[in-house]
Amino acid sequence: MTSTTEADLAEGLRNREIVLHYQPKFSLVTNEIVGAEALARWRRPDGTLLPPSAFIPLAERTGAIKDLTLQLLAGLVGDLGSAGLDEHLVVSLNVTAQDFEGDMFTRALLGAIAHGVLRPGSLELEITETQALSAGTRIREQLRVLTDAGIGLAMDDYGTGYSSIDTLSQWSFTTIKLDQGMIGRMLGSSKDATIVRSSIRLGHELGVNVVAEGVEAMVQQDFLAEAGCTLVQGYLVSSPLPLDEFKRFRHHDRRSLGMSPGLAHMALIDHVQWRRQMVRYAIRAASLPSSDPGRQLDGHPVLCERDCAFGRWYVDANASPGATGTCRALAAPHADLHRLGKGLVHRVRSGAALHELAPMLSELKQVSNELVCLLEDFEDAGLCALYDGATASR
C-alpha cells in the first residue's frame, strides 16, 4: 500500500489496528529506565507497520485524530494497569490541539483517574509549542485542570517553536523535551551546545524535568550528563519497542555512570546564586531604618535546607546507596549556611545595622568557600567517573 485514505484509516480504527510502541526514557542519575514515550504505529492486516508520518497528518486533516487519541489513551491505560507497566514509570502520550476541542479527552482522563484505573502521576501528555499556541486559552484551561489533577505536561520539540520562553511562563508545563535537531547539532556547533546547556539550566531553575530527545551516540549522552541533563531518550538507549519487548528491556543491566558531574555543577551554580541573594538581601534590608516595615519583607533565599535548589537535589543524592564521602561531607557546611542565613534574617528583622551583621556575613563567606571547594571536588570526581572510569567499559 503506497498511500492511505480517510476510509482506510476509519477501518483501521474500527479494527483497532493502531497500536502503541514504547521508547524508553533513561535516567542519567539512577541509571534506570524511568519512563517511556508511547508512539503510535499502524499494524496493517498484511503485517506491515506504518510510522506515524503515514497517518497522523491524515488523521489531523480529517479530524479522525480525536478518535485515534481516545483509542490510544484506552490502550495506554490498559498497558499501564493490567499489562504490567509498573507504578514507578511515567509514560507520555502525544496529543494535538484538536484533542481539546470539546472536552471528551479531558473527561476520559479525569474519569479514568476517578475510577482508579489511572494513577495520574504515571501519565504525561506531550504537546508541541506550535500546537499549544494554535489552540488558545480553552486548551490552556483544560491542560491546567489535568496538571492540577497530577498529570504531567511536556513541551515537545522544545527549541523549534518561536516563543518557547513565553509559552513556558504561561502554561503549566512540567517537562521540556529538547528537540532532536538541536541534540544532533550540539557537538558540531558551539552555539547549539550553549543553547542546550542554557535550556537545561533554565529547566532546572524553573523546576521542570528536561528530557533530551534523539540521543544516538555515547558522546552526546556524556555531553548531556556533564551539562546536568538527567533524562535521555533515543536510539542509543533503545528505539521504540512493542510492549512485551519494552518490559523485558527495562530490566537489562546497564553501565553505572556513578554520580552526575552535571548535577554537581548545577549545585555549584545554585549555591552561588543562593549566597548572592542572601548577601544582597542583608545589605539592602540593613540599609533601611531599624523600624522600617521593609525589613520584615521577604526577599531572602529559601531558608529551609531541604527546600533550597541545592537541598532538594542533595537530600536524594546523599540518601542514595552510592553516596561517596565527598558527597556526605557537603552536609555540614550546607547546614551551617542555612543556620547562618536564618540568623541573618532574624537580625535584620530585629533592626541590626550593617556593621553589626559584618561578622555573620564574613562567616557566611568562609563557609561558602568551603562548600564551593567541596562541590568542585565532587564535580571533578564525577568527571573522572564519566570519562576515565568509563572508558574501560566502552
Catalytic positions are 213
Query: Which position has the grid cell 527546600?
Result: 307
C-alpha cell at 380: 571533578
Would you state the cell numbers that stand for residue 46, as one nine-digit string? 498484511
Task: Retrieve residue 357's grid coordinates.
Answer: 551583621
Q: Does 99 bind Mg ion (CB under 5 A)?
A: no
Give the x-and-dash track for 129-168 against ligand C2E (CB under 6 A): ---------------------------xx-----------
Return the amino acid letter for 41.
Answer: R
Q: Which span sits near Mg ion by CB under 5 A: 155-163, 228-236, 240-248, 330-338?
A: 155-163
CA dihedral 256, 261, 264, 268 (to 10 degrees): 180
- DSSP string of 56-123, one letter each residue: HHHHHHHTTHHHHHHHHHHHHHHHHTTT---TT-EEEEE--GGGGSSSHHHHHHHHHHHTTS--GGGE
Contacts with ligand C2E, 235-254, as mask; x by CB under 6 A: x----x--------------
Query: How many residues bind to ligand C2E according to rule CB under 6 A?
Result: 21
By Cβ distance, which residue is nearest to ligand C2E?
234
- Give the Cα separation of 279 and 276 in Å (integer): 5
Residue 240 interacting partner from Mg ion, ligand C2E, none (CB closer than 5 to 8 Å by kind):
ligand C2E
199, interface contact from Mg ion, ligand C2E, none, CB < 5-8 Å by kind: none
Among 8, 101, 216, 377, binds ligand C2E (CB under 6 A): 216
User: Which one of ligand C2E, Mg ion, none is in contact with 391 (Cβ closer than 5 to 8 A by kind)?
Assistant: none
The DSSP secondary structure of 302-320, one letter per residue, reads --STTTSHHHHHHHHHHHS
By the rule CB under 5 A, 129 interacts with Mg ion? no
Q: Is 126 in the site for Mg ion (CB under 5 A)?
A: yes
CB distance 65 to 98 below 8 Å? yes
For residue 220, state whether it binds ligand C2E (rule: CB under 6 A): no
> Sign of dihedral through CA atoms 314, 320, 326, 329?
positive
**Closer of 80 and 348 to ligand C2E (Cβ):** 80
Please report, as residue ranges, which positions from 17 to 46 form the binding site for ligand C2E (by CB under 6 A).
Answer: 23, 39-40
Q: Tell me: does residue 90 bind ligand C2E (CB under 6 A).
A: no
Residues 301-340 that bind ligand C2E (CB under 6 A): none
Interface segment toward ligand C2E; rule CB under 6 A; list 89-97, 329-337, 362-370, 371-379: 89-97
94 belongs to the binding site for Mg ion (CB under 5 A): yes
Among 1-9, 90-98, 226-234, 373-381, which window interacts with Mg ion (CB under 5 A)? 90-98
Stretch near ligand C2E under the rule CB under 6 A, chosen from 101-109, 115-123, 209-217, 224-232: 209-217
Residue 40 contact among Mg ion, ligand C2E, none, beta carbon within 5 to 8 Å by kind:
ligand C2E
Which among 83, 89, 155 has a CA at the least distance from the CA of 119?
89
379 binds Mg ion (CB under 5 A): no
H runs (alpha helix) in the chain: 6-14, 56-62, 65-80, 104-114, 129-148, 164-170, 180-185, 190-206, 218-226, 243-250, 261-286, 309-319, 325-329, 331-349, 354-383, 389-391
- Hey, CA dihedral for 188, 194, 199, 201, is it positive or negative? positive
* Residue of closest CB approach to Mg ion: 126
- Per CB under 5 A, residues contacting Mg ion are 94, 126, 156-157, 213
- Per CB under 6 A, residues contacting ligand C2E are 23, 39-40, 51-53, 56, 72, 94-96, 126, 156-157, 180, 214-216, 234-235, 240
